[in-house]
Structure 1
Amino acid sequence: MSDNKFNYVRGEMLPQQPAPLAARSVSGWIRTNLLATPKDVILTILALAVLIAILPGALNWLFVQASWLGSDRSVCATTVQGGIQPDGWHGACWAFVKDRFVQFIFGRYPIEERWRPILTLIMFVVLLVPLLMPKSPRKGLNAILLFIVFPIIAFFLLHGGAFGLERVETPRWGGLMVTLILSFVGIAVSFPLGTLLALGRRSQMPVIKTLSVTFIEVVRGVPLITVLFMANVMLPLFLPTGWTIDNFLRALVAVALFASAYMAEVIRGGLQAIPKGQSEGADSLGLSYWQKMRLIILPQAIKLVIPGIVNTFIGMFKDTSLVSIIGMFDFLNTIRLNFTDTTWITPVTPITGLVFAGFIYWIFCFSMSRYSAFMERHLDVAHKR
């Protein structure tokens, strides 16, 4: 046998191949993603048929026949040409949203004092944005300012009663402001508390484990409405005579505790996914329990369950609308309250208000979802190498 028979070394490089269709043109992307198989073709045609049937009418109702300007309900009962339309054929009444927009944001907060929630929001954004940026410096100081210092300043700004600020009782709060406050407190409290509950459930100490399991299972076993009812109706029965707790504070505690139970199970799932060797390696280095959890176990576990954490946050953000059962008017319920306003009562007013509310909720929820995806890509170290 000749040596050439077993020579597998390539003498020249293969010619460069053309780029995939999806990377070259829009038509290539369409063929690859929408028309690759007969099933994809059928589903694409069905989707286009649904869009053609629904989209023109929706756009017509939302924009073409919509009423954009006006000071009362009369503008929502006319077409662009000025003729009266039958009920059910009017376009969206965006004039109603424009006229009540400030109330949707602040509720019944005094007009002359609304600079206080605006200033609070500016402070929140200034502190939050650097914390969300992976490469921003001094995150520890930033977190202390956002989660410890900011809530104290925000309370005195919004509630008043000190430093010469007029007192604004929480029953006068409402709108998107209440929704954001409930969501921020719920997120700020449920994440660390849920982490402690998850660690407690995996603890080797019987008392700690029993208490954690009991709390998690009891809270997860009842709906949020029940927890809010308990906080509003049952809690005062256990307080000494003459003592009372603000309704808004009860809602904050109820939402935070409820979210903590769900967060604990999400974190526990991440802890169980960490190989046992990680913990054993930390023990071999002489790290204490809290050093092991803080430096090795928790960072890996939290990275694994980012989608579950954000999903819990999104659910809690939407569930804040349930506080209406204890007399609080969040964003959605402030909008619903205006449906009976005689100035704007029309057949399309409720639909327009609910569409607007859904759009605002979608903006916040979609933003959290996109940031979650960004953090997953940023922390996916294994695929960056």
Structure 2
Amino acid sequence: MSTKDLSYVRRDMIAPEPPPISTKTIGGWLRTNLLATPKDVVLTILALALLALALPGIINWLFVQASWFGADRSVCATVVQGGIRPDGWKGACWAFVGDRFQQFMFGRYPLEERWRVILVGIMLIVLLVPLLMPKLPYKALNAVLLFLVYPVVSFFLLHGNVLGLDRVETPLWGGMMVTLILSFVGIAVSFPVGILLALGRRSPMPVLRTFCILFIEIIRGVPLVMVLFMANVMLPLFLPTGWSIDNFLRAVVGVSLFASAYMAEVIRGGLQAIPKGQGEGADSLGLSYWQKTRLIILPQAIKLVIPGIVNTFIGLFKDTSLVAIIGMFDLLNIIRLNFTDTTWITPMTPLTGLVFAGLIYWIFCFSMSRYSAFMERHLDTGHKR
């Protein structure tokens, strides 16, 4: 049979196609990401139109007509004696944030002792940054210093009453330092505890499996507000007479246990995604359960659920604002507390304070999100690109 009678046989050579558009140039990136299809072009134009409509007003409120310096509400008041201000001011009251900035960061921590908080913050940066950089050596030593030594040293520095340091009670702690302490401890505790709970839920031992299931489902079945309320109100009822637990410690324990239950389910999802053959191969090599779990199963499972882990960390960081129910003032709540200060009562003060709080939360959450994406790319070694 002649190939001329076969309709599916190509008779002409395919015309050469143009080379792919390079995304390394600005024009190539725009064509690939914003102008690739007619739908993309329409959506890009609509987005630019919305930005052109909203951005000038936002910039005007945030920067142009904002009040940057001052010692009281007179610099931010829209109404002055005799009527409306003649300059038509209606911008953000950053003078309020500047005047109360130290309180937002340290709460009511004594002024002369705030160097201790700053020192703890510097120690955290010095220990955390090298741990987050994959190529730097001595990760084990760094982790021991950060998660075991640093919390003990930080507690004695912040609380005092040792080595000649004045005692600072936890009710005086507040602001950003409380948010960071609760978040750091919650993250440091919830990750290993969540791994143990996830392994326990998959354990063949009925007692251990039942305990882990009950813990996870009970904690996940109630809101964090209830967990904190129970830790603050109900826990003292079960303690021996004369015993008491500091409110801050109750908050730390409640937040950590709550995050551990959610972390356990995230880790369990990664464990279930690992093919059964991975464990069987480790068994055939004679590895023990813990060797198999530590060297083969867990590294693969954690790599798969990095987005879920970081999402839990981000949620934990934002949920620290709920400690107000037990009388503690984190960043958001101490900002809200200052709204009633007669020195700064103006229509723009609450909005400016909330914008400032939102900006701080966004910086930390966005940083965690970007680091998560970086680690996903760094650990994505399963396929050649």
What's 2:175 paired with? 175
What's 1:271 paired with? 271
What's 1:297 paired with? 297
Post-superposition CA distance 1:104-158 (Å, at most 9, x none): 0000000000000111111111111111111111111111111111111000000
**Greater CA deviation, 32-41 or 167-176?**
32-41
Query: Residue 295 of structure 2: SS of its match in structure 1?
Result: helix
- 1:67 positional shift: 0.3
- 1:49 positional shift: 2.0
C-alpha distance in 2, partners of 1:29/1:264?
40
C-alpha distance in 1, partners of 2:19/2:165?
66
Unaligned runs of 5+ in 1: 1-15
What's 1:315 paired with? 315
Cα RMSD (Å): 2.1
- 1:48 positional shift: 1.7
Q: Percent identity?
A: 80
Distance 1:273 1:161, change over 3 A: same
Q: Is the 8 A contact 2:232 2:250 kept in 1?
A: yes
What's 1:363 paired with? 363
Distance 1:25 1:156, change over 3 A: closer
Query: Residue 71 of structure 1: SS of its match in structure 2?
Result: coil
The alignment covers a number of residue pairs equal to 369
Q: Is the 8 A contact 1:182 1:320 kept in 2?
A: yes
C-alpha distance in 1, partners of 2:133/2:281?
31
C-alpha distance in 2, partners of 1:86/1:211?
68
- 1:86 positional shift: 9.0
What's 2:36 paired with? 36
Q: Is the 8 A contact 1:198 1:267 kept in 2?
A: yes
Post-superposition CA distance 1:227-284 (Å, at most 9, x none): 0000011111111122111000000000000000000000000000001110001101
Distance 1:98 1:200, change over 3 A: same
What's 1:231 paired with? 231
TM-score by length of 2: 0.92
**Greater CA deviation, 348-357 or 238-247?**
238-247
- 1:84 positional shift: 4.3
C-alpha distance in 1, partners of 2:175/2:382?
44
What's 2:378 paired with? 378
Q: Please state if 1:205 is matched with 2:211.
A: no
Distance 1:25 1:376, change over 3 A: closer
What's 1:92 paired with? 92
What's 1:255 paired with? 255
What's 2:103 paired with? 103
Q: Is the 8 A contact 2:107 2:172 kept in 1?
A: yes
Aligned pairs for 1:25-64 within 5 A: 25-64=25-64
C-alpha distance in 1, partners of 2:31/2:138?
48
Unaligned runs of 5+ in 2: 1-15
C-alpha distance in 2, partners of 1:255/1:54?
38
Aligned partner letter, 1:151: P
Post-superposition CA distance 1:79-108 (Å, at most 9, x none): 9xxx94499961000011111111100000
TM-score by length of 1: 0.92
- 1:28 positional shift: 3.6
C-alpha distance in 2, partners of 1:175/1:77?
26
Q: Please state if 1:154 is matched with 2:154.
A: yes
Q: Is the 8 A contact 2:78 2:89 kept in 1?
A: no
- 1:27 positional shift: 3.3
C-alpha distance in 1, partners of 2:335/2:32?
44
C-alpha distance in 1, partners of 2:25/2:236?
66
Post-superposition CA distance 1:294-339 (Å, at most 9, x none): 0110001000000000000000000000000100000111111111
C-alpha distance in 2, partners of 1:299/1:275?
13
What's 1:6 paired with? none
Q: Is the 8 A contact 1:127 1:145 kept in 2?
A: yes
Query: Residue 77 of structure 1: SS of its match in structure 2?
Result: coil
Distance 1:87 1:213, change over 3 A: farther
What's 2:11 paired with? none
Aligned partner letter, 1:369: S
Query: Residue 20 of structure 1: SS of its match in structure 2?
Result: coil
- 1:293 positional shift: 0.4
What's 1:190 paired with? 190
Query: Residue 194 of structure 1: SS of its match in structure 2?
Result: helix
